[in-house]
Structure 1
Amino acid sequence: MLAICCIFAGFYFFRQERHELSTISDTLQQISWPALIAGLASTVLYIGLMALTYVFSFKAVGANVSFASSLELFLKRNFIGVFLPMGGITSQTFFSGIIERKGIPTYRVNFASAIFLIVGILSVFIVGIPVLAWLGFTATAHSALFIKLLYSFPVLILITWGTVSFLRKKWLYQRCKKWFPAAFVAIDEMMAEGLSKKYLWIALLMAVLIEVIGITQLYIAITAVEPGASLLAAVLGYTVAVILLIASPLLKGIGAIELAVTFILTEYGFGTASAAAIVILFRFYNFWLMMLAGIVSFVWSRQNVLLRVFPAGMIFILGIVNLVSALSPAIKWRMIALKSYLPLTTIHASNDLTLFAGVVLLFTATYLVKGSKTAWYVAVITTMVSLVGHLFKDIDYEEAIYATIVLIALLITRSQYKIKNDPGRRTMGIRTSIGVFVVALVMGVLGFYFLDKKHFGIDFNFMQSVQFTLQQFFLLSNDTLVPLTKFGEGYLRLISFMGIGAFSFLLYTLGRPYIFDEDTDQSDLSAAREIAQQYSVSSLDYFKIYPDKLIFFNEKRTGFISYKIANGFAVVLGMPVCENTAAAKKEILTAFEQFCKECGLHSAYYRVREADIIQLQSFKKKFFVIGQEATIVIDNFSLEGKKKQNLRTARNTLTKKGYTMQTFEPPLSNDTLQQMEAVSKDWLGEGEKRELVFSQGMFDKDIMRNHTVIALMSPAGVMAAFVELVPVFRNSEVRYDLLRKRNNEQNGTTEWLLLAVIDYCKSKQIAELNMGMAPMAGIEEPKSMQERSIKLAYEKIKRFRHYKGLRNFKERFDPSWENVYFAYESSYDLFFLPSALNQVMRDDES
Structure 2
Amino acid sequence: MAKRALYVTLLRRAGGPVLSVVLLCLALWALHAMASEVTYRQIAGYVHALPNTDIALAVLLTAAGYVVMTLYDWFGLASIGRRLPARRVGLISFISYAFSNALGMSLLVSGSIRYRFYVQAGLSTGEVARVVLYTTLSFWLGLAALTGVTLLLVPIPPDVPLSGLRIPLAIVLALVPLAWFGVAVAVRRPVRVWRWAVNTPTPAVAMRQILTGALDWGLAAGVLYVLMPEAISGGFGHFLAIFVVAQMAGLISHVPGGLGVFEAVMLAGFGATGNHGLEAPILGSLAAFRLVYYLLPLCVATVMVIWREVRALRHAALVTPWFSSLLPPFFAGLTLVCGAVLLFSGATLAIPGRMEILRGFVPLPLVEVSHFLSSVVGMLLLILARGLQRRLDAAYVLTLVLLILGAILSLLKGIDYEEATLLSLLALALAPAHRHFYRRASLFRASFSPGWVLAIGAVLACSTWLVFFSFKHVEYSNNLWWEFSFHHGGAPRALRALVGATAVVMLVALANLIRPARPRRAYPGEADLARAMPLLKHFDSAQAHLALVGDKMLMFAPGDQAFIMYDIEGRSWVAMGDPVGTDEAARRELVWSFRESCERAGGWPIFYQVRPADLDLYLDVGMNLLKIGEEARVRLETFNLDGKSKKTLRGTVNKLSRDGLRMEIVPAEAVPALMPKLKCVSDAWMRDKKVREKRFSLGLFDERYLARTPMAVVWQGDELVAFANVFVTATKEEASVDLMRHLPEGPSGIMDFLFIELMVWAKAEGYRWFNLGMAPLSGLQNRRTAPLWSRFGAMVFGRGERFYNFRGLHRYKDKFDPEWEPRYIAVPGGIALPLALANVASLISGGIGGVVRR
* TM-score bracket, shorter-length normalisation: 0.5 to 0.7
Per-residue CA deviations over 1:628-685 (Å, capped at 9, x if unaligned) read 438799989999989999xx9xxxxxxxxxxxxxx9985359997997999699746x
- Structure 2 CA distance, aligned partners of 1:466 and 1:326? 16
Q: Which amino acid aligns with 1:545?
A: L
Query: 3-state DSSP class of the match of 2:239?
Result: helix
User: Post-superposition shift, 1:263?
Assistant: 4.5
Q: Is residue 234 from structure 1 mapped to residue 256 from structure 2 by the alignment? A: no
Query: 3-state DSSP class of the match of 1:142?
Result: coil
Query: 3-state DSSP class of the match of 1:285?
Result: helix
Question: Hey, what does 1:214 align to over in structure 2?
Answer: 220
- Structure 2 CA distance, aligned partners of 1:390 and 1:220? 31
Query: 3-state DSSP class of the match of 1:203?
Result: helix
- Structure 1 CA distance, aligned partners of 2:295 and 2:759? 72
Q: Which amino acid aligns with 2:350?
A: A
Query: 3-state DSSP class of the match of 1:728?
Result: strand
Per-residue CA deviations over 1:500-559 (Å, capped at 9, x if unaligned) read 9836736978999x99999766335225436656x687653431433215376898x8x9
Q: Which amino acid aligns with 1:418?
A: Y
Match of 2:114 among 89, 92, 108: 92
Residues 376 and 417 of structure 1 are in contact (CA less than 8 Å); yes or no, is this contact kept in structure 2? yes
Residues 156 and 242 of structure 2 are in contact (CA less than 8 Å); yes or no, is this contact kept in structure 1? no
Query: 3-state DSSP class of the match of 2:43?
Result: helix
Question: Hey, what does 1:322 align to over in structure 2?
Answer: 342
- Listed as ranges, the matches of 1:54-93 within 5 Å are 54-64=73-83, 68-81=87-100, 85=107, 87-93=109-115
Per-residue CA deviations over 1:747-795 (Å, capped at 9, x if unaligned) read xx99989855456779999869976322111357999966x84256313
Question: Hey, what does 2:462 align to over in structure 1?
Answer: none
- Structure 2 CA distance, aligned partners of 1:238 and 1:751? 80
Tell me the TM-score normalised to structure 2 length.
Answer: 0.64
User: Post-superposition shift, 1:260?
Assistant: 4.4
- Structure 2 CA distance, aligned partners of 1:726 and 1:70? 51
Residues 22 and 273 of structure 1 are in contact (CA less than 8 Å); yes or no, is this contact kept in structure 2? no
Q: Which amino acid aligns with 2:107?
A: P
Query: 3-state DSSP class of the match of 1:820?
Result: strand
- Listed as ranges, the matches of 1:738-757 within 5 Å are 755=749, 757=751
Question: Hey, what does 2:467 align to over in structure 1?
Answer: none
Q: Percent sequence identity over matched residues? A: 14
Question: Hey, what does 1:447 align to over in structure 2?
Answer: none
Distance 1:809 1:796, change over 3 A: closer
Question: Hey, what does 2:283 align to over in structure 1?
Answer: 276
Residues 549 and 705 of structure 2 are in contact (CA less than 8 Å); yes or no, is this contact kept in structure 1? no
Residues 72 and 135 of structure 2 are in contact (CA less than 8 Å); yes or no, is this contact kept in structure 1? yes
How large is the RMSD of aligned CA atoms in angstroms? 6.4
Q: Which amino acid aligns with 2:725?
A: V
Question: Hey, what does 1:20 align to over in structure 2?
Answer: 39
Match of 1:243 among 248, 259, 275: 248
More divergent stretch after superposition (277-286 vs 249-258): 249-258
- Structure 1 CA distance, aligned partners of 2:420 and 2:727? 66
Question: Hey, what does 1:368 align to over in structure 2?
Answer: 388
Match of 1:502 among 487, 493, 506: 506
Question: Hey, what does 1:286 align to over in structure 2?
Answer: 293
Distance 1:508 1:413, change over 3 A: farther
Q: Is residue 128 from structure 1 mapped to residue 147 from structure 2 by the alignment? A: yes
Question: Hey, what does 1:523 align to over in structure 2?
Answer: 527
Question: Hey, what does 1:818 align to over in structure 2?
Answer: 819
Residues 233 and 264 of structure 1 are in contact (CA less than 8 Å); yes or no, is this contact kept in structure 2? no
Q: Which amino acid aligns with 1:234?
A: F
Q: Which amino acid aligns with 1:772?
A: G
Query: 3-state DSSP class of the match of 1:774?
Result: strand
Residues 775 and 806 of structure 2 are in contact (CA less than 8 Å); yes or no, is this contact kept in structure 1? yes
Question: Hey, what does 1:142 align to over in structure 2?
Answer: 159
Residues 42 and 213 of structure 1 are in contact (CA less than 8 Å); yes or no, is this contact kept in structure 2? yes
Per-residue CA deviations over 1:455-505 (Å, capped at 9, x if unaligned) read xx99x9xxx69979xxxxxxx967999xxxxxxxxxxx9x99997983673
Residues 723 and 737 of structure 1 are in contact (CA less than 8 Å); yes or no, is this contact kept in structure 2? no
Question: Hey, what does 1:593 align to over in structure 2?
Answer: 588
Question: Hey, what does 1:45 align to over in structure 2?
Answer: 64
User: Post-superposition shift, 1:40?
Assistant: 1.7
Distance 1:212 1:771, change over 3 A: same
Per-residue CA deviations over 1:581-615 (Å, capped at 9, x if unaligned) read xxxx6xx33552355568877999864678x7999
Per-residue CA deviations over 1:70-102 (Å, capped at 9, x if unaligned) read 4223112223546763624333324327965xx
Query: 3-state DSSP class of the match of 1:418?
Result: coil
User: Post-superposition shift, 1:368?
Assistant: 2.1
Tell me the TM-score normalised to structure 1 length.
Answer: 0.65
Query: 3-state DSSP class of the match of 2:107?
Result: coil
Question: Hey, what does 1:743 align to over in structure 2?
Answer: none
- Listed as ranges, the matches of 1:277-676 within 5 Å are 277-299=284-306, 303=319, 305=324, 308=328, 311-312=331-332, 314-336=334-356, 351=371, 354-355=374-375, 357-376=377-396, 379-380=399-400, 382-383=402-403, 386-387=406-407, 389-391=409-411, 393-400=413-420, 402-404=422-424, 406-407=426-427, 410=430, 413-414=433-434, 416-421=436-441, 425=445, 502=506, 505=509, 522-529=526-533, 540-547=543-550, 548=552, 550=554, 563-564=565-566, 573=577, 588-589=583-584, 591-593=586-588, 596=591, 607=609, 626-629=629-632, 666-668=674-676
Per-residue CA deviations over 1:719-738 (Å, capped at 9, x if unaligned) read xxx99843434899773548
**Number of equivalent positions:** 722
Query: 3-state DSSP class of the match of 2:81?
Result: coil
Distance 1:498 1:408, change over 3 A: closer
Q: Which amino acid aligns with 1:807?
A: R
Residues 571 and 837 of structure 1 are in contact (CA less than 8 Å); yes or no, is this contact kept in structure 2? no
Distance 1:39 1:131, change over 3 A: same
Distance 1:221 1:767, change over 3 A: same
Distance 1:337 1:214, change over 3 A: closer
Distance 1:77 1:608, change over 3 A: same
Query: 3-state DSSP class of the match of 2:823?
Result: strand
Question: Hey, what does 1:728 align to over in structure 2?
Answer: 727
- Structure 1 CA distance, aligned partners of 2:758 and 2:493? 90
- Structure 2 CA distance, aligned partners of 1:127 and 1:572? 50
Residues 628 and 825 of structure 2 are in contact (CA less than 8 Å); yes or no, is this contact kept in structure 1? no
User: Post-superposition shift, 1:699?
Assistant: 6.9
More divergent stretch after superposition (106-115 vs 700-709): 700-709
Distance 1:759 1:220, change over 3 A: same
Per-residue CA deviations over 1:99-154 (Å, capped at 9, x if unaligned) read 65xxx87765653343122111111111223344456xx33553776148899779
Q: Which amino acid aligns with 1:505?
A: A
- Structure 1 CA distance, aligned partners of 2:759 and 2:59? 80
Question: Hey, what does 1:772 align to over in structure 2?
Answer: 773
User: Post-superposition shift, 1:15?
Assistant: 8.0
- Structure 2 CA distance, aligned partners of 1:828 and 1:95? 16
Q: Which amino acid aligns with 1:820?
A: E
Query: 3-state DSSP class of the match of 2:438?
Result: coil
- Structure 2 CA distance, aligned partners of 1:516 and 1:466? 51
Distance 1:739 1:280, change over 3 A: farther
Q: Which amino acid aligns with 1:526?
A: A
Question: Hey, what does 2:313 align to over in structure 1?
Answer: none
Distance 1:526 1:234, change over 3 A: same
Per-residue CA deviations over 1:285-323 (Å, capped at 9, x if unaligned) read 332233234335545655463764665454344334324
Distance 1:147 1:576, change over 3 A: same
- Structure 2 CA distance, aligned partners of 1:777 and 1:816? 15
